[in-house]
Structures are given as structure tokens and as C-alpha cells.
Structure 1
């Protein structure tokens, strides 16, 4: 007979070992340390006295748990948040709450996260009877929550000197359980906390909305693309944060719980797209580092593709896809800004500090979720504070950019003026000996000022001078004013495909064709900039002007200049024509230009290669 335990028979030794194991495991229920909830002065963080249990199969219900609870392998929670990450398991949390006072109490157990898919909570009395229970979660209707709050708030009732065991079952439909901080508080603390939270979010959302509206109005006034992209960026972040914090589910789709995760990841995709547009324009990467633009758009596209499964309700895999790609994207932006900083680019320095502040907020937010950084106002709102800091600094950077452009323009104009003065003095000093040379130089200078050197057409400055004269002349003689703007369709893709030299040749051919078609004494042709041309027509009616433009449009298409990027296969143009024959109130040059530009834009929006004609009402001239 084999023996162990100081000579006892093997069978008896096994029996004693089993009794010892049974003693220690059966004492788990009784030995679970309780949390005294009677003091109401502070918010209680019960994580240090909370146990967790992994149900890998996800089949255990509360009755089975209570029957086996003493023998299950409960483990203490390691951090002040319940953080399980990517897992297909169901997790149970167990905490014991004790009312050591002689009066009945109500306490609120708060799961301070808006995103757990399924939350089931059970309150068990000292005789292991379920006295309260809830089934809620972000994938159940908002009405399932016992307290209408963007997080999960569970009201638990205690009699005098009574304890309660609380079991919380957390599960996910797709294998992702996000971090969930736990708090216990009374109604007063909850109200104070909620008021502080709402005040913080009101200030954040109000401030960012004000900044968004300011940028929108500035964009409408200046048409500076950076402000428009900042509006997209700000709007995408606000939408993302509104959903992430649970307000979207609470206020926008409370009875459609399956909207939250797809909308959340959709807003993430919008955020990356808007950020790419903004960053490329803000840092002027198309000119300074075009290869980085391609890399950014490749990463943005990969992020967007990775988020597509979210539309089918799969949340875990897009998050796993987003982590490495999002990190690579952030590092690439930081690297680009840092590289430009080394080249003494002040805008890049502002961007680097702003983007770095945002990333610090993101890192602190996730460190708090992981329990690495303790809970506090700074870590709780680190994401929002980082974003607010970033957006304010970037707004300052945009203003700095506009001012710098103004200064550069003023400097260029001043240098040009000084150059003209110096040239004039030099010419005056030689006037007696070189009269004919001076006249020739003045003639050439006048031609340069009036005409576009590439096409030979009148330039934008001459347009601004002549248009006012034409308005007055045609008013004096009672003739209608017809002005058209033309834009070569898809000209930028043409340059990208065939090269800028080929693009210049197209501009020259278009100018030649304009000169052949518009040869009346009163016709004026302008190159207004880039691929835009202006035509001041000598015509008696809007219909006559439209027919003239249609003939030119057809002739341009018949040139059959190949254009792969155009839907028509050849170079075409879009035209906006306005006619003013009511001089009750004289129209301004700006009104004429703006209305023609809008008509041309309408032509481009309607599949291009067409003429859009309008009568200019007198009220638009104000």
C-alpha cells in the first residue's frame, strides 16, 4: 500500500486534500471583502474589491452562477477599470456592497462607459435570492436602462445593516469588450457628477461648434480651402465624440441600438478623410512633399476599407485593423510636420504642437481605460481636452497663414512698385539720348500690364478696368450687357495626364479659337486666370449671346483635342452667360462677375460642356 502525508494511505490522503480544497473554495463567498456604502461623502471606486470570472463558453446564467459560485475560479480585478479587450468570452464581475448604517439607503452603481454590448446585472441578498435585476447594453434599446443616462446606472436598494452581492455579466456580440470603470455613489453625488459632466460637455461642444461656425463663415467670405477642410474636420470629430460618449444613442436613435457601432466607425472614417484633406492643405504638402500626400491617402483608403465590416455589425475586426493603421497614420503626420519644422516652417511647427497635443489626449484617454493612469478630470476628459487644444491652435495657425499670405502679397506688390520706380528713374536719366527706346519700353510695359503673355488676351486687371467702362457705356446707349465666363473642363487632370506644356498649348488653341469667333468691334476677350476665360459680347439679346456661345462650344469640341480624363474624350468647355438689360440700378462689376461665375458653376455641375444663361436682375447689383 502506497502512503503519503506522513504515512497515511493514499486514498485517505486524497480525501483529506479534497476536504482542504473544499474548505478554502467554499469560503470564497463568505470571504469576499465588502465595500461599505454608508459614507456618502465621496464617490466609491470598488474595483479593488471586485472579483472577475471568465465564462469562456458564455453559457453560464445567474442561477448556475449562484449554484456554482463558491467553486468558480474568481480572480481579483487588476485595475480600477474592467478591461477585457478582444475576447469571445463572457465575463462576470462580483462585488459585495454593505450598508453598515441603521437606515435604508439607495446607491447607484455606475458602469462609466457607453459602449458595452450586453450588460446584465443581478442584486442578490444574503440568502442568495435575486432581489433586483436588469438586462441592458448598447445593443439593447435605450429604454432598457433603469436610469436614462448615456452610461449605465443601476439603482440598488439596501435595508438597515444589510449587504448585497452584485453580479454583472458583460458580453459582446463580436469579441470586443471595451474598458468599463466602476463607481458607486449616492443620488446627490450622481447629480453633482452629472451636472459637472454636462457643463464640461456643454463648454466643449459649444466652443467647438462656435469655432466650426466661425471657420464656416470665414470660408464663405474668403473661399480659403483650409477653413472649409477645418469645418469638415471639426464636424467629424464632434460627431464621433457625440457617439463615443453615448449621446448619439441617447438622443438620436434610442430605439435603434444597432446603429451605434456602424455610425461610430463611419464617423472615424470621416474623421480620417477630413484630417487628410486638412493636413495636406494646411502643410502645403502637394508642393512640399507630394509623395507624402500619396502615402496619407493610401493609409486613409486602407482605414476606410478596414471599417467597412462595421456596416454589417462587426466591430472587433475593424478596431484591430484600425490600431496599426491609425498609429502609422499618426506617426506619418508627425514625421511630416517635424520634417517641415526642420526647414523653418512656422505653420508646420504649429501643426506639430497641435497634433501632438491631440495625440497626448488620445493616449491618456486609453491609458485611463486600461487602468494605467488613475481616474480624474484630466484623464476622464483627456480626449476632449486634447482635441480642443488642437483645434484652437490650428485655428490660430489658419489665421497666421492668411496673414502671411497677405504679407507676401504686399511685399511682392511693394517690390514691384519699387522696381517700377527705379526703372522709371533710369529711363528719365537717359530720356534725351534714348527717346525712342523709352517709348518702345513703355509700349511693351503697357502691353504686359494689359495682356496675358501666354494667350495674348486681355488679363484680369484689364477686365476689372474695362467692365466698369462697358457698364457705363452700354447704359448710356441703352444696350444690354452680356458677359460670359468659360472654364476648360477637367483641366487639372489634363495637366496631370499630358503635362503642363501640353496644357499651355491647349490654352493657346482656345485663345485662338476665341479670337476667330468673337470679332465684333465691341467684343472683348479676357484670360481671368488658370483655365478661366471671360467674354464681353456685343449682342442685342440673351438668345443671340447664347447662340454665339453654343457655336463656339461646338467648334471647341470639334477641335478634337484628346482628353482621356474627360467624359467626352476631348477638350470641352463649360460656359456661364449673364445678360443685364435693366439699368434702373447700375450693376457692379463684382455682381456681373459673380453671377456669370455661378452660371458657369451650374454648367459644370450639369455634366459640363454646356452653356447656362441667366438674366441679371437689378436687385443683384446692390
Structure 2
């Protein structure tokens, strides 16, 4: 029996070596297939570049006010030469102008980007015998309205790209376009003969057919595997593949042409809907294939949380405007993709064979995705359509993920087989070494408990450190760096809390605004360092005078401060502020060799808060009382009880402090 066990172990080792070799061969085939698709992309890009329309002149209408009747009033120097017509994420209208020596009816103008909300095209020519640059010199030969905001059937040529026929046998024609979109905006202009475009379309359709055929096959295979095995891993992978395929179909205008051609509303939203849906499936699939629920529960919860957020965004995309959701998508991707990579790489470092393929797959998709995003948002300029690179990256990624799934099942099968062999060996040796096995089990249990305890302590220590850093950062965000008092943001948060307490407990709440008199003169005469020293001394004096627990002292801005006194009526608040005013009046700040004295003015009010509007009224009233104090000669405290008596002084103030 012992010899048979050793033979089986040797066979297992050989099987693993052969399996590892097969995986490397499959990986090489994946790279070869990806290289073939990349070669096709480069070839298509070179063919497209030959038909680029140039020179193209561009004008950005920031206010979206220009029309065909006013565009010629733009000075020629404002029209700038533009080689790639990629404008990034902008709400401005973009005007493009090209002069054509002669046009023929067998020529086509292609706007090589399928996701534009509005495209207006004019072909026009100068009136004979007139020279100059006014709009009256042109007459319009042809005019076309295109864009995703219109039904697909309204396009002059039924095609997934924006195609426009050129006028027949026209000389000295000027092509004028106005394009606008809520998403990334680019409008690469290509001029084709109909024959050349048919040849190009055939190559393009071949590439797209390979991609969608491959994605459909991968999705259906995993869907059938789910039906037969009931493994959620397969259905989430199929959901990811189908979502990604639909995303590419939406980007290239194929979805609008063949599926939802009568719904501009749906066309506007499908891109972000399928993008959010794809990322939701990706996160669930990643958690399952990496077995995070058992190996890393915290990562599993993070992935599950992100997946839920993405699925909620799918629903929100049906309501919230596209311009907002595309920005939200970018923000979420900036957080999600690094998390996925960090988790997978950490598992690779731990020796996970599945994570190797998973990390490689995500690395390829991330590289192609970042390149496509950088091109769409005008951070870089590519000579080829960036969506093609995204498709190549997706193809490579799905192949590598398929290898990861195969690896996962192979590993599970090996582990199952090894478990059966170990079970047989254990049964064989059980009678001979029962005591030894029990001792080893106890020792292993002890070691495991010690390891778990150690890891738990390390984790708790790390959490404690993070909590301390969080408290420190929170304190920094709530404290004015110069004076050490709380800042305006913290005051506004506490004011809401204290106002609610006043309303609930029917107790008065006092608020006072304080302002250093003629502080600008201190800065002008002695410099800002002396001014800062005066502010610090002012704050220290304020803390020394007003130190009741629960009172809040805050720097409101510049030389203005605010004091919040819960459970204090107006008389009590005024007495406290009079003490402080007197302390400031007797204060002398020695700084930079200068003895500086200054005074303070304050406005104070108090009331029992009855509704939410009361808190805003109290701040406004305290500010008005402060101005009354300024108008009364400064160096005084004016309360809400004395407001009417000082109203005439208020009318004399000019608003300067």
C-alpha cells in the first residue's frame, strides 16, 4: 500500500508539471491571438489615416451662442488649426471648418465617432463676384442634422457612424460643422470615396465580427456551464462578457442601429448603464474566483460593497443626466481598479496560480482602458480609434480570465484527488500512528490558534493606529492652524447641534460675532507677522476669559471671531463679552519690537430657537449688531436688547470694519 501511495504521488507531480506546461502554451496562444487583433487594429488605423480630412480649423463656442448666421463674424485668427479633432469632456459647442477645392457625389464625409449628441453639417459656397468675409457672401448647398438626440432613421445615410454625402461636382466648397455632446467630444473627419469606404467597412466588419463572435461564444459557453453546474462563477462571468460586449456595441453605434434605434433617450444612457453593469459583474466574479469570502473576508466585503454601488448606479443612470453619471463612473473606477489589482497582486505574492492569470488579465485591460480613457478625455492623442485598443484588451483579458477559471477548476480537482489519497493513507496508517496523529493535530491546532491570535493583535494594532490618525486628521480639519481655535466649518456643525438642543430643551442660545477694530491698519503699519501675533494673543485672551465647558470659541474668518454660549440669555452673554472687551482694551502685544494695542467690537444676541430658520436669523442679527457696534465708535458690545437704540448709528456706518 505504501508503494502504491508513492506511485500515486509521483503521478500527481507529473500531472501538475504537465498542467503547468499546458497553461503556458495556452497563454502563448492568447498572446498570439491578441497580437493578431492588434495588427488588424494598426492596419485599420493606417487605412483610416490616409483619408483624414485636412487642414481642419477649429473654433470653440464656449457660450454656445453661435449659429450659421453669426459664425462668419468670428475673426479668422480665432479659427485654429486642429489635427485630431479631440476635445475631451466639454459642454462647449465645437465648430469645424474645411475648405474643399471640389466635391463629387461619390464621396462621403465620415465623422468617426458614434457618440455625439448633436452634429450639424453645412456645405456652402461663395456667391460669384463677391469677395470678403461676411455671411451674405455664402449660400448653403446642403444642410444635414445628425446626432444621437435624433432618431436613427433620420440620418441621411443609414450607418452606425455619422456619414454625409458630398455635393455633386461643386467647386470651392466650404464644409462647416457644429458638434456638441454631454460626454467626451471628438469628431475625427474622414473623406472617402464610396468604393474605398466599402473596402474599409469590410475590414472593419471583419474585426468587429471577430470580436463580437468571440464575446458571444465566451458568454454562451459560460451561460451553458452555469445551467449545467449551477455555479454562480459562470453566470457572473457571462454577465461581465455580455455587458462588455453591449458597451462596445453602444460606443460604436451598433446598438443604436440594430437594437434601440427608435429611442434616443436610451442611446444617451446605454454607455454608462452597461459600464456600471459590467463593473458590478466584474467585482462579484473577482471575489468568487479569488475565493475572497474564505481567504480574505474583508476584501470580500469591500468587493461586495463596490458591486452594490455599481448596481445602484445602473438604476440611477436611467434618471440622472449622462454628464453627471460619466464623471461618477470615472471617480468609481479610480477607486475600484487599484483595489482589484492590489488584492490580486497580493494573492500572487502568496503563490496563488489563479491570481497570476487574473492579475495579468486585469493588467492588460487596465492598460488598454486607461489608454482609451486618456484619448477620449484629450489627455493623449492616438492615431487610431482608442476603442479598438479597448476591444483588443478585453479579448486578451477574457481569454486570460477563462484560463483563470480553468486553473481554478484544475486546482480544485487536484486538491480533491489529493484529499482522497491523503484520506486513504491516513486510514492505512491510523492503526499504527494514532497517538502521533492526535499529537500532531493538537500541535497544529495550537499553532493555528497562536497564529490567529497574533494576526488579530496585529490587525487590532493597525486599526488603533488608523483610528488615531483619523482623530488627528479630524482635529486638524476642525481647528484653525494659526489661533488654535475651532474653525468656521466646525462652528457651523456645532451651531446646528446646539440650535436643535435649544429647540428641544426650550433653553436660550447666545451667539456673538467679534471683530478686531482697525486690524487692517495693524497689518499695513507693522506687517502680517505682527498681525498674526495679534490674532494669536486675541485668541488666547478669548480662551482665558470664556472657558465654561460647552461654550464654543471659533475663528470665523480673517480678524472676525464667533462665540457660541448655550443656556445663556442676552444679559449674561453681554456681561461675558464686556469682560473680554475690557481684557482686550488693556492688552498690549509686544512683537517684532513693536508694542501694539487694539480694541474689539462685538454684537451679541440670544433666543430660544423655535425653528430651523431661527439659527440663520441669529447669525444675521449678530452680524448686524456688530456693525452697530462699529457705528457706535467701536470698542463696545451691542446686544439685541439695545438694537433699536443703536439703529441710527447703524445708518451712519459705511460697512468697513
TM-score normalised over the length of structure 2: 0.54
Match of 1:60 in 2: 66
Alignment of 1:429-578 (within 5 A): none
Counterpart CA distance in 1 for 2:88 and 2:276 is 25
Structure-2 change in CA distance of 1:313 and 1:169 (3 Å): farther
Check the 8 A contact 2:95/2:176 in 1, yes or no: yes
Alignment correspondent of 2:585: none
Residue in 1 that maps onto 2:559:
none
Per the TM alignment, residue 375 of structure 1 is displaced from its structure 2 partner at its CA by 2.3
Q: How far has the Cα of 1:305 moved from its partner?
A: 4.6
Instruction: Determine the C-alpha separation between the residues in 1 that align with 2:88 and 2:407.
Output: 45
| CA deviation profile, 1:455-481 (whole Å, cap 9, x unmatched) | xxxxxxxxxxxxxxxxxxxxxxxxxxx
Q: Give the superposition deviation at 1:382.
A: 0.6
| Cα-to-partner distance string for 1:157-215 (whole Å, 9 max, x where unaligned) | 2527x23211111123xx43422322111112211111111111111111111111211
Match of 2:152 among 139, 142, 149: 142
1:83 maps to what in 2? 87
Structure 2 residue aligned with 1:374: 382
Distance in structure 2 (CA, Å) of the matches to 1:244 and 1:314:
18
The 1:219/1:204 distance shift into structure 2, 3 A limit, reads same
Q: Does 1:417 align with 2:434?
A: no
Question: Alpha-carbon deviation of 1:297?
Answer: 3.1
Q: Is the Cα–Cα contact under 8 Å of residues 86 and 186 in structure 2 kept in the other structure?
A: yes
Aligned to 2:126, the other structure's residue is in SS state coil
Structure 2 residue aligned with 1:108? 108
The structure-2 alpha-carbon separation of the partners of 1:268 and 1:365, relative to structure 1 and needing over 3 Å to count, comes to: same
Q: Secondary structure of 2:176's match?
A: strand
Unaligned 5+ runs, structure 1? 1-39, 428-622
Query: Superposed, which structure 2 residues align to 1:283-322 within 5 Å?
Result: 283-306=290-313, 308-312=315-319, 314-322=321-329
Q: Does 1:170 align with 2:210?
A: no
Give me the whole-angstrom Cα distance separating, in 1, the residues matched to 2:433 and 2:59: 92
Question: Aligned runs of 1:312-351 on 2, under 5 Å?
Answer: 312=319, 314-351=321-358
Change (3 A) 1:256 1:398: same
* Equivalence for 2:122: 122
1:296, distance to aligned residue in structure 2 (A)? 2.5
Query: Structure 1 pair 84/280, CA: closer, same or farther in 2 (3 Å)?
Result: closer
Q: Deviations over 1:315-347 (max 9, x none)?
A: 111111111211210011011111111111111
Contact 1:253 1:259 in 2 (8 A): yes
The 2-side partners of 1:376 and 1:156 are apart by 24
Label 1:176 to 1:42 Cα distance change in 2 as closer, same or farther (>3 A).
closer
**1:451 alignment counterpart:** none
User: Is the contact between residue 284 and residue 304 of structure 2 (CA under 8 Å) also seen in structure 1?
Assistant: no
Maintained 8 Å contact 1:53/1:72:
no
Residues in 2 aligned to 1:213 and 1:385: alpha-carbon distance in whole angstroms: 20
Counting only pairs closer than 5 Å after superposition, residues 192-207 of structure 1 correspond to structure 2 as 192-207=199-214
Is the 8 Å Cα contact of residues 122 and 133 (structure 1) preserved in structure 2? yes
Q: Quick one: structure 1 residues 303 and 122, their matched pair in 2 at CA, closer, same or farther if it must change by over 3 Å?
A: same
Cα displacement (A) at 1:306: 5.0
Matches within 5 A, 1:26-41: none
Which of 70, 73, 80 is the aligned partner of 2:78?
Answer: 73
Q: CA deviation at 1:422?
A: 2.5
Q: Which of the two has greater helix per residue?
A: 2
Q: Deviations over 1:540-578 (max 9, x none)?
A: xxxxxxxxxxxxxxxxxxxxxxxxxxxxxxxxxxxxxxx
Of 90, 97, 102, the residue aligned with 2:100 is: 97
Do the aligned residues in 2 keep the contact of 1:124 with 1:165 (CA within 8 Å)? yes
8 Å CA contact 2:141–2:167 kept in 1: the answer is no
How many equivalent pairs are there?
Answer: 378
Q: Secondary structure at the match of 1:273?
A: helix
Aligned to 2:639: none
Shift of residue 137, structure 1, vs aligned partner = 0.2
Q: Could you say what secondary structure the match of 1:92 adopts? A: strand
1:156 aligns with 166
**Greater RCO, 1 or 2 (C-alpha within 8 Å, sep 6+):** 2
The 8 Å contact of residues 362 and 397 in structure 2, kept in 1 or not, is answered as: yes
Structure 1 residue 426, shift from structure 2 partner: 7.5
Root-mean-square deviation (CA, aligned residues, Å) is 2.5
- CA deviations on 1:95-151 (whole Å, 9 max, x unpaired) are 11223xxx9453211111111101100011233211011011011011221111111
3-state SS of paired residue (1:311): coil
CA distance in 1, matches of 2:316, 2:48: 46
User: Tell me, what secondary structure is at the counterpart of 1:312?
Assistant: coil
Residue 237 (str. 1) matches residue 244 (str. 2): yes
Cα pair 1:108 1:185 within 8 Å, conserved: yes
Provide structure 2 residue ranges, at least 5 long, that are not aligned to the other structure: 1-46, 128-137, 435-657
Match of 1:492 in 2: none
Query: Does structure 2 retain, via aligned residues, the 8 Å contact 1:42–1:189?
Result: no
| Separation in 2, partners of 1:198, 1:118 | 25
| Structure 2 contact 61–94 (Cα < 8 Å) conserved | yes
Relative to the length of structure 1, the TM-score reads 0.57
> CA–CA distance in 2 between the matches of 1:228 and 1:305?
20
Distance (whole Å) between structure 2 residues aligned to residue 269 and residue 236 of structure 1: 9
